[in-house]
Amino acid sequence: MRRLTIAEALREGISEEMRRDETVFCLGEDIGVPGGWGGAFTVTLGLEEEFPERTLNTPIAELGFFGAAVGAAIMGMRPIADVQYGDFLFCAMDQIHSNASMLRYMSGGTVKVPMVMRAPVGATGRGAQHARNMERFFVGVPGIKVVAVSNAYDAKGMLKAAVRDDNPVMIFEHKLLYGSKGARTESGAVDGSCEVPDEDFTVPLDRAAVARDGEQVTVLGWLLMHHFALAAAETLATEGIDAEVIDVRCLSPFDYDTIGRSVRKTGYVVIVEEGPVTGGVGAELAAGITERFGEYLMEPVRRVASPDVPVPFAPVLENAYRPDAERIAEGVRLLLQSH
């Protein structure tokens, strides 16, 4: 076991899968240029050295190369397509939503589309067009699986599971969690590194993870917000509030077994989300939990999310946009007080 950053863990996972299965290949902008950065966040750094023919640097043409990934996938390849920033998924939207997600169904189950998509999300001082949390635009879209990785272990394990899955899988990653180094270090980064085994392993694409056991309230988050939820739980613990913190991790489908177990136990739920509250992933999660476990809820599910605004640039505004540990803790307090 070694401690790896998320960027390193993804890099290792990709390389191992490419070694294991020669139908696996990567494509994306600047992913493997000698002297370059290994994509926007160093994940594919050096990949072109071992796999010169399976590391495809693309032109800036997201619609084109996502579509090409779909086409290659239906012909037996297993592409891993990478956008530099999640926001650019809007450019590729048609190929993802109209082709990748639906070809299997439209073909009556005769075609399969085993492809992986990787997208960094989150507000990081770059202004509105390089900042959005794109999860909401993919959750619930039939035919696509969606996961979000908040630590290196999951990053590697889910990447590998995604590569081996026969469906299109979207992996959301957070810019502040990569642990990208050198010139690509992010200011405000949060540590997503952890011990990662040397042996081959995968992490299932439909299981949430209970990161902290607790009895009084269930706090659900993913990506950066999961880390902040853990920090909030520490604060709350000092106040005598015992929070269970779950890394939702699998966003489509949700793992209602794990979530349900917690809700039945605590009776209180706070969902934490980076991104405008209205129409976010938290909406579905809140509705789904209420439908399934409403009788156990002592109060309506509470959402702690961003206000309904684009991502502002000024640090003072961006920090107010992004929920932090204190806002999460306050959300929990308000929820528990309300009875």
Partner 1 sequence: MKETEYDREFLVDLYERMLLIREFEEEVKFLFLEGTMPGTIHQCQGQEAAAVGVCSALEEDDVITSTHRPHGHALAKGLTPEEILIELFGGGTGCCRGKGGSMHVGNIDKGMPPAIAIVGGGIPLATGMALALKMQKRPQVAVCFFGDGATSEGAFHEGITLGAIWDLPVIYVCENNLYGASTRVDEITRMPHIAERAAAYGIRGETVEGNDVLAVHEATRIAARQCRDGEGPVLLELETYRLTGHSRRDACHYQPEEEREAWARRDPILVFGRALCQRDDVEQADLDRIRCDVEARVAGAIETARGEPAPTLADLTTDVYA
Q: Is 101 in the site for a copy of itself (CB under 8 A)?
A: yes
Q: What is the dihedral of CA 34, 40, 44, 46, to 10 degrees?
A: 20
Under the criterion CB under 8 A, does residue 66 sit at the interface with partner 1? yes
Answer left, alpha or beta for residue 223, where phi above 0 means left and psi between -120 and 50 means alpha.
Answer: left
109 binds, among ligand TPP, a copy of itself, partner 1, none (CB under 5 to 8 A by kind): partner 1
Distances (CA, A) of 115 to 112, 309, 316: 9, 32, 39
Residues 6+ apart with CB under 8 A from 109: none
Q: Which residue is nearest to ligand TPP (CB)?
A: 88
Active site residue 49: no
CB 168 within 8 A of CB 144: yes
311: Cβ–Cβ under 8 A, 6 or more apart, which residues? 123, 127, 128, 131, 132, 318, 321
Which CB atom, from 36 or from 312, has the smaller least distance to ligand TPP?
A: 36
330, HSE (Cβ side, Cα atoms, 13 Å): 7
- Assess contact for 310 and 296: CB atoms under 8 A: no
Residue 287 engages a copy of itself in binding (rule: CB under 8 A) = yes
CB of 187 to ligand TPP, least distance (A): 19
Measured in whole angstroms, the distance separating CA 297 from the mean position of its chain's CA atoms is 27
Among 60, 287, 298, 334, interactor with partner 1 by CB under 8 A: 60
With CB under 8 A as the contact rule, the residue among 308, 315, 319, 334 that binds a copy of itself is 308
Minimum Å gap between C-beta 154 and a copy of itself is: 22
Cβ-based nearer residue to partner 1, 52 or 294: 52
**Residues within the interface to a copy of itself (CB under 8 A):** 87-88, 90-91, 93-94, 97-98, 101-102, 105-106, 127-129, 136-137, 139-143, 252-253, 276-284, 286-288, 290-291, 294, 299-303, 308-310, 312
Active site amino acids: 62, 130
